[in-house]
Amino acid sequence: NKLAVFASGTGSNYDAIIEATKNGTLEAEVALLVCDKPNAKVIEKAKQNGTPAFVFDPKQYRNKQMFEAKIVEVLQEEKIDWIILAGYMRLIGDTLLHPFDGKIINIHPSLLPAFPGLDAIGQAFDAGVKVSGVTVHYVDSGMDTGKIIAQQAVDVEDGMTREELQKAIQQVEHQLYPATIQKLITRGE
Ligand code: GRF
């Protein structure tokens, strides 16, 4: 089971997935990091872990189709089975979606379909909801619209700050994502 993690931010979910592969709770190999931000923190982490990385700057390509075609080439070279989106802040186009249909999953920091898109934690906080949470879902061409695989609720306690809510949600993400990937893999879907 070879995973490609797509991440462009701090990479805390990348860390959690790596940790789970090391302690054996996730029976898979993170065989590739794909990153569209040449300065992202996650690249340094990949170096330290010895994860091969494909880092690219979208501006160097004519359009999305061109860089997605390149990504597909790298994924096929590495014989990647699953694409794990973890803070890759782009919609996936047909060029990438088609060859990996049903094999791309994403994690989103709200209980979808509530609060799709950017800053879901801030959106939930501003709306004053008492319960938010985390969703793992299949990726389709829409924004956080694919079929839901797993969800876990997080209570928004009275007096909680935005930062505290973010921490609580991240903690749940770091458990739920590796556990959900393991379930998918053992189901052999
Ligand atoms: C996570 O909150 C995830 O839900 C969202 O992007 C964030 C990535 O954070 N899709 P990190 O880079 O894994 O810390």
What's the mean pLDDT when you consider all of the chain?
Answer: 97
Cα 34 → chain centroid: 11
Strands 29-35 and 131-138, bridge-based pairing: unpaired
At 187 the pLDDT is 87
**Complex ipTM value:** 0.95
Give, using CA atoms, the residue closest to atom 12 of ligand 1: 11
Residues with CB under 6 A from ligand 1: 7, 9-14, 86-87, 107-109, 173
Could you give the domains of the chain? Answer: 2-187 (3.40.50.170)
| Chain segment 49-105, per-residue pLDDT in tens | 999 999 999 999 999 999 999 999 999 999 999 999 999 999 999 999 999 999 999
Whether 92 has a binding-site annotation, put simply, is yes
Torsion of CA 56, 62, 64, 68, to 10 degrees: -50
Give, using CA atoms, the residue closest to atom 14 of ligand 1: 12
> Taking the CA of residue 16 as centre, how many other CA atoms within 13 Å lie in the half-sphere pointing to its CB?
21
Q: Which residue has the tokens 């302690």?
A: 23
- Ligand 1: distance of its center to the CA of 9 in Å? 7
Output the pTM of the full model: 0.96
